Amino acid sequence: MKLSVEHISKSFEKTQVLKDISLEVKKGEILSLTGESGCGKSTLLRIISGLEAPDDGSILLNGQNITSWKPEKRKFGFVFQNLSLFPHLSVKGNIFYAIKKKDQTAEKLNHLVEMTGLKGLENRYPHELSGGQQQRVALARALAINPELLILDEPFSSLDELLKAKLREEIFDLLRSLHITTILVSHQASDAFLIADKLVVMKDGAIQQSGTPSEVYQKPISPYVSDFFGASVIINAKNKDENIVETSFGSLKIANNRADDFQLFVRPENIQITTSRDFNLSGKVLKKEFKGPHDVLKIGNNSTSEFISLETERCPHEVGETIYLKVPEKEVQIFK
């Protein structure tokens, strides 16, 4: 199974919400569409599902153009944010709702409820279930049709953090074991990092970056992507000499052919506190916060309003002390 999205665009009235989107999902792959609210990811999901028609572009399934197919013909399983369970149907009724009568066997029901942790709840109604159990019913219903593709739209957004973490791990372990091709929409990096083979980061209706979770986290192509996936240190810089850049915190050895001003990006965990001054950054500890197993340092100097926020393990340095920061060149990205 291979799903291809080719040059999809969509506007509502005069607002363009998708701009020439192309991506591919291979058999057994889990792809996460992520980005801030309003970036277009849910609209793209609706177009892939057949619930919305694009203005331009095509959706291909195994090379066949299915852009005009109705949702039921696509044989995709859906788990939406609001779950959409039928309140007048039992767990069994909800699970079997989308499949033909002849396929509604006791063996199939037993398999689905065992697989999704619903054994013994088959005759209960949605209002008699917890939020996590309702989520499992929605998943079992989506799996009942043996879908070509499973589509999850913010499936954990209504759950509390503890339940979300537990259920998320269980569900994605299940999807992995079944080798089900999946598209997940989420605005939370934790969902994407935990389960995705590939991330697609969207902003303002366009794809900003795609790649493995590790690639996108360690090598973001823009400040937006870097900030979306956690804490980052971004420092203004300019060329000083060949392979040396100047910042308000000192000079660094970094190969760079840019003639203009630019920004250096590095993840905080890749910055090391050192005693050496040579081609390392320096600054004063302006603030030190205790955060359980970690300290958070705010580092600055008198020449600029810039500062570096750094989370470290137990730090012996106190407010007012000057410290030196080693920034490995291979960990640095350069942004315009």
Q: What is the pLDDT of residues 188-202, one digit of tens each?
A: 787 778 889 999 999
Task: Label each residue of 144-162 as H, E or C.
Answer: CCCCCEEEEECCCCCCCHH
Do 216 and 302 fall into the same domain? Answer: no
Do 275 and 128 fall into the same domain? Answer: no
State the chain's mean pLDDT as an integer: 89
Q: What is the pLDDT of residues 228-244, one digit of tens each?
A: 888 888 899 988 877 88
2 falls in which pLDDT band (50, 70, 90)? very high
Do 282 and 309 fall into the same domain? Answer: yes
**Is residue 54 exposed (0-12), middle (13-18) or buried (19+ Cβ within 10 Å)?**
buried
**pLDDT mean over 295-310:** 85
Do 205 and 253 fall into the same domain? Answer: no
The pLDDT, as a whole number, for residue 266 is 92
Do 169 and 116 fall into the same domain? Answer: yes
Please identify, among 227, 258, 279, the residue that sits at the C-terminal boundary of a domain. 227
Do 237 and 214 fall into the same domain? Answer: no
Portion of the chain with pLDDT greater than 90, in percent: 52
Split into its structural domains, the chain has a count of: 2
Q: What is the pLDDT of residues 11-56, one digit of tens each?
A: 999 899 999 999 999 999 999 999 998 999 989 999 999 999 999 9
Count of beta carbons in the 10 Å neighbourhood of residue 33? 30
Do 188 and 68 fall into the same domain? Answer: yes
**pLDDT mean over 283-305:** 86
Do 45 and 173 fall into the same domain? Answer: yes
Check pLDDT > 70 for residue 259. Answer: no
Model pTM score? 0.86
Please identify, among 227, 252, 280, the residue that sits at the C-terminal boundary of a domain. 227
Helix, strand, coil percent content, the chain, rounded in steps of 5: 25, 35, 35
Do 85 and 152 fall into the same domain? Answer: yes
Do 57 and 78 fall into the same domain? Answer: yes
Do 40 and 131 fall into the same domain? Answer: yes
Please identify, among 227, 259, 277, the residue that sits at the C-terminal boundary of a domain. 227
Check: CB of residue 45 under 8 Å from CB of residue 183: yes
The pLDDT, as a whole number, for residue 249 is 92
Q: What is the pLDDT of residues 97-136, one digit of tens each?
A: 878 777 778 888 899 999 999 999 999 999 999 988 998 9
Check: CB of residue 84 under 8 Å from CB of residue 97: no
The pLDDT, as a whole number, for residue 55 is 98
The two three-digit tokens of residue 65, written as one number = 């153009």
Do 148 and 253 fall into the same domain? Answer: no
**Domain assignment of residue 294, given as a range:** 231-334
The pLDDT, as a whole number, for residue 257 is 64
Task: Identify the CATH number of the domain in which residue 272 sits.
Answer: 2.40.50.140
∠ CA 70-72-78, rounded to 5°? 110
DSSP 8-state class, residue 265: E
∠ CA 20-26-30, rounded to 5°? 90
Check pLDDT > 90 for residue 65. Answer: yes
140 falls in which pLDDT band (50, 70, 90)? very high
